Structure 1
């Protein structure tokens, strides 16, 4: 099948050109991260040499047609098959303490999420063919919410945390360390559970919705909350990739001496999940900022916070803004 892949893509492209649709419709094909045997460290990643001929033809096609490399990237599998090498916080986009920072020893780039490292590994593998300028789209990523006895990390809490943190992560329109100016367009796998799918329990349990249409957990598609008509409404939120120790200090101050109302981020309350310093500190910082800005209160918190016109509210967790 591999030998006919690129010729088939060429036929499709020629049909689009003949219909004058080649600028509106691009031709590509999703690739599993498995075609890169050793994705870490990203800077040394290369494609499986068995597929070199096909991959090279594919990359040349994508380059020549201004198309995209489609990547299926699953930190869930990277974590569960990693034999404890990487902490689960790294897979779930949670902040890592400074002593556990993940660093590429060759480039000294810091990776705050396994997701970014997977994308960067693919960029470096493409670069190994001396080809550049092909943006990557993540066509599948997600986290299962249920697993069997040997799948303890497939939980509703982890799935909700991963997907909500993923959305927040990609909404900043930045890329991985090697390509910071290229946003990572991403598709979540998947909308509905496939309850008849064979294999482990987790294979049936990637959906955001049950087959009857009810939600498995709350997902915040925050882009729908972007402020378009009233840019004067501002919020105070945590900056990306801030040290968790500084966030904890800022959170403690805001909820204590700062006088912020932090009830909503307590366990069982609407803003508790995702249970991360990033999420909790954003809520506390914003509550303090909205109450105290008229009296000179700022959105700084030792350099860990910034103002935004993007409403960070999600589900029943509401951030006040003015």
Structure 2
């Protein structure tokens, strides 16, 4: 009907405003859990942690109903078992969209359909119908007038890139050249994004010691161990960035550009068997906390520095019913009662819109020897109170030089900057408006406490509605709303 046209344009403008905002960190929800909470309880848990983005591996009716009016952005999944039927039958694709997407919009904020999970590397026999399935689902969305709200893509593993390092020479598996070209053409034509499952844990454990553990965990490396692409001379501070960049270079090898990469899965197991010594609570906590900090700085990998890396953590709960190794069952960041598996720096990406408080923190990637010197000086001659970073105290974890130096630097700065104290520490420190407090570790200057020992701030995965960088469709600045209103008024005038 014609009367819906101006509404579509307004929604498109609204989407453009939202997409210009910052990166987010979401979560995956697997359901192979013995004591899986009810759908309503899951939504309550998501809200309690201010999780704004969720990926489902199917289109669970109870969950999609419970998510209505929550503002949580949802990716729904076509299961691997459904891909073949949808790929062979446009009618089946239309029925799937009507049942699992159209029936829940606009109440449930469905933003994308993930078609299968690593289809090309796990069920290659279905590969020939994967791209036809994408096209059929997109056509069904067009028919339902929903293609402007819902994107279609398909998550692929790093196995599709046989040699991801150095990133500049990375290419997709040549045996899938035709399919990958068709996939990229589809993503380009529909303005969708490439879904990547990137696991530095797997890259590290299968690398036979080629890369150091710190590189996989986003921890700074000494200058002598810096990871550098010999062709571009780009420095890679984490395996995560290198994996994302390898994907961009693989896309570029087909002469496509402008297709963003979204990491639909990444994480670290917190428990493993005897042959999985690096699956520990400490490593998992370090990886996830550093991942959140990394994504929240709104930058891309070295080759695409202006494209933020939207990311989904694998996963919300431990799936104890999954087959396979011990680690397969222990990727969750929360227990099913909603409590955290390990201390989580869920607030690292948060900064109040009108915050006047600045914090002095260590630069990621700074030389560790200089950080140690700065830490020693701050806790000694500088007069910082460093009790909180001692073992057993609230800020001991994550137990690394960057986090400990950040706490000491900030305590010194908050006490001394009014009298001329600076945030430099031989070039290893920087100022930020993002509150680095996490869990029960409260930094001096935080709105939650001025003494560094108060209660935990509200947790968040992704920005809250008051924060810059928020990406929920209900979160938009007053300036953007003004533009939206003016545009809507002008359009209605032109239609009368």
| TM-score normalized by the length of structure 1 | 0.96
Matched residue of 1:222: which SS?
A: coil
Residue of structure 2 equivalent to 1:289: 413
Is the counterpart of residue 144 in structure 1 residue 278 in structure 2? Answer: no
Residue of structure 1 equivalent to 2:358: 234
Distance 1:123 1:247 in 2: 33
Q: Would you say the 8 A contact 1:75–1:114 is kept in 2?
A: yes
Distance 1:172 1:241 in 2: 14
Matched residue of 2:153: which SS?
A: coil
Residue of structure 2 equivalent to 1:113: 238
Measured against aligned partners, the alpha-carbon deviations of 1:40-61 in whole angstroms (never above 9, x if no partner) come to 1111111111111111100011
Q: CA deviation at 1:224?
A: 6.6
Q: CA deviation at 1:280?
A: 1.0
Is the counterpart of residue 30 in structure 1 residue 155 in structure 2? Answer: yes
Q: Would you say the 8 A contact 1:95–1:277 is kept in 2?
A: no
Is the counterpart of residue 49 in structure 1 residue 174 in structure 2? Answer: yes
Identify the range of structure 1 (196-205 vs 219-228) with the bigger mean alpha-carbon deviation: 219-228
| TM-score normalized by the length of structure 2 | 0.63
Q: Would you say the 8 A contact 1:255–1:262 is kept in 2?
A: yes
Match runs of 1:156-167 below 5 Å: 156-167=281-292
Measured against aligned partners, the alpha-carbon deviations of 1:204-226 in whole angstroms (never above 9, x if no partner) come to 01011234544211212225742
Residue of structure 2 equivalent to 1:186: 311
Measured against aligned partners, the alpha-carbon deviations of 1:270-299 in whole angstroms (never above 9, x if no partner) come to 111111222111111110000001111111
Matched residue of 1:179: which SS?
A: coil
Residue of structure 2 equivalent to 1:277: 401
Q: CA deviation at 1:253?
A: 1.5
Residue of structure 2 equivalent to 1:259: 383
Q: Would you say the 8 A contact 2:131–2:183 is kept in 1?
A: yes
Measured against aligned partners, the alpha-carbon deviations of 1:82-138 in whole angstroms (never above 9, x if no partner) come to 001111000011110111111111111111100000001111111111111111000
Q: Would you say the 8 A contact 1:168–1:222 is kept in 2?
A: no
Bigger relative contact order, structure 1 or 2, given CA contacts below 8 A and separation 6+?
A: 2
Distance 1:223 1:210 in 2: 21
Q: CA deviation at 1:66?
A: 0.9
Which 4+ residue blocks in structure 1 deviate beyond 3 angstroms? Answer: 211-214
Matched residue of 1:27: which SS?
A: strand
Q: CA deviation at 1:312?
A: 0.8
Matched residue of 2:431: which SS?
A: strand
Residue of structure 1 equivalent to 2:335: 210
Distance 2:172 2:377 in 1: 48
Residue of structure 1 equivalent to 2:369: 245
Distance 1:60 1:240 in 2: 37
Is the counterpart of residue 129 in structure 1 residue 254 in structure 2? Answer: yes
Aligned alpha-carbon RMSD (Å): 1.3
Residue of structure 1 equivalent to 2:133: 8
Give the structure with higher Rg (CA): 2
Identify the range of structure 1 (247-256 vs 130-139) with the bigger mean alpha-carbon deviation: 247-256
Matched residue of 1:17: which SS?
A: helix
Distance 1:242 1:319 in 2: 20
Q: Would you say the 8 A contact 2:220–2:364 is kept in 1?
A: no
Distance 1:271 1:316 in 2: 8
Matched residue of 1:116: which SS?
A: helix
**Structure 1, unaligned runs of 5 or more:** none
Identify the range of structure 1 (301-310 vs 35-44) with the bigger mean alpha-carbon deviation: 301-310
Identify the range of structure 1 (71-80 vs 11-20) with the bigger mean alpha-carbon deviation: 11-20
Matched residue of 1:191: which SS?
A: coil
Q: Would you say the 8 A contact 2:221–2:365 is kept in 1?
A: no
Q: Would you say the 8 A contact 2:348–2:436 is kept in 1?
A: no
**Structure 2, unaligned runs of 5 or more:** 1-125, 447-496
Q: Would you say the 8 A contact 2:245–2:303 is kept in 1?
A: yes
